[in-house]
Amino acid sequence: MKQFEIPEFYRSPIISKVKAFRKAQDPRKKDFTPTVLDFGNLKLVIARHFGFCYGVENAIEIAYRAIAENEGKRIFLLSQMIHNPGVNEDLTNHGITFIQDTEGKQLIDWNEITAEDVVIIPAFGTTLEIEAILKEKGVNVEQYNTTCPFVEKVWNRSEKLAQDQHTLVIHGKYNHEETRATFSHTAAHTQAVIVKDLAEAKLLGECITGKRSSEEFYQLFNGKYTAGFDPEVHFSRLGVINQTTMLATETQEIAEYLKALTEAHALENKLDKRFADTRDTLCYATNDNQSATLGLMEAKPDLAIVVGGYNSSNTTHLVELLEQTCPTYFIKDATEISDSGTINSFNIHSKSMETVSDFIPQSERPLRIAITSGASCPDATVDQVIQRVLKLTQPEKDLESVLRSIQ
C-alpha cells in the first residue's frame, strides 16, 4: 500500500511499534485478536486495527502539500478535513479557513471566494452543486481534491446501478458531509432515499408494500428523497449503498430486510420488483476497525477507552459496540483524563459530556483496559492517552521493557 508523507508529529513511538509487530506477524491482516501489553498489574488490550486509514493519510498529505505550495495565497477547506479536532486545529493554525461547518452551514460567503484562492475538498467529498459553484468561480476543484477513493467507489456503484434503473437506498446519517455528497452524486443518475437505521428501513418497507401512502412517505422522509420521487413508480427496483463509516452489521441487516421484503411482496402480488445484490460498500478500514473491535470485546476488558472526534461516525460505532461489553469512555485526547483519575467522556446517546470520577477500578488486578481509536485519530494521540493511563495505574513493569517483549 502507498506510503504517505504526513507531518512527523502525527507519528507515535508506542503504537508504531505495536503496529509494526502485528504487521510482521500477520501481514495479510487475517487475525483480529488484540495485542496485549502486559505490565503485570495492568494489561493494555490494544485493538488490531485503528487509527489513520488510507483515505485520511491521503487527505492529510494533500492538505499539507497545498499549504507548502501556496505560500501567500488564501487557502480554504470546504468543511472539516476529517472529524478529528486536533487535525483540524493544526490545519487552521497553518492558515486554512473553513467555508462551511460540518452540517453545511455557511461560514464564508461564496461571494468572497475567487479564482485566485485555493480550495481543498475534504475526505468526505462534496456535492455536485458545490463543485458547480467553485467551477463557475474558476477554482480548480481537482488540484487539491482529497475525496477518499472508497467514497468515490460508492458513487461509481450508484452510477452503475442507475444504468439498470435501480432506486438507491442510502444507509447514512442525513446531515453527515459524506452522505450529503453521496446523495447529490446519486441524484444525478437515479432516485434515492436516505435511511439512518433499521427502524427507518422498516418504515420505508411499509411504504414499499403500500401499507403507508405516498403522502406518508413524503412526510416520513421529508428532505431525504430526491426531487421527483414517486413511491408508486420508483420502488420497483432497489439497491442499497451506504455512508462508508456506518456500522457494517446494520447495513447488512437493512439490505437483507429490504431484499426479503421486496421479493415476498413481488411474489404475493405478482409484481416485477427487483433487488440488486450489491456487496457492502463500507471501506476496508471501517470493516477492519469494527472487526478488531469485536476482537476487543471477546477479550473481555474491564473497561474500554475509545479515542477520536465526537462527530466522527466511524468512531461512534466503535463505542456502540464496546459499550455492550464493558464501561466505555469516549474521549478526544488525553486532556480528558485528569491526574486525579477523573475522565470526561462523551455520551453518544445524549450527545453530552459526562464526568466520571475514579473511572479506573482499584479492586480489579490485573486490570484489563481496552484501547482503540477511530480512522481519523492520529496514533500520537493514542500514545498520549496510554501515557496518561500508565501514570494513573502505576504499572509494575516499565513501558520500554514491555514494548521490547513484543518484538
Catalytic residues, which ones? 178
**Cα–Cα distance for residue pair 210/86, rounded to 1 Å:** 48
The CA distance from 265 to 261, in Å, is 6
Quick one: DSSP state of residue 404? H
Sheet architecture: strand order including 367-373: 35-38, 42-46, 367-373, 303-307, 328-331
Q: Distance between CA atoms of 181 and 190, rounded to whole angstroms?
A: 14
Q: How far apart are CA 376 and CA 196, in angstroms?
A: 22
The single residue listed with the C-alpha cell 475514579 is 358
Contact 308, 332 (CB under 8 A): yes
The Cβ of residue 248 has, within 10 Å, a number of other Cβ atoms equal to 17
CA atoms within 13 A on the CB side of 206: 14
Beta-bridged to residue 192, according to DSSP, are: 168
What 3-state class would DSSP assign to 307?
strand
What is the SS3 assignment for 346? Answer: strand
Which grid cell sits at 312?
466522527
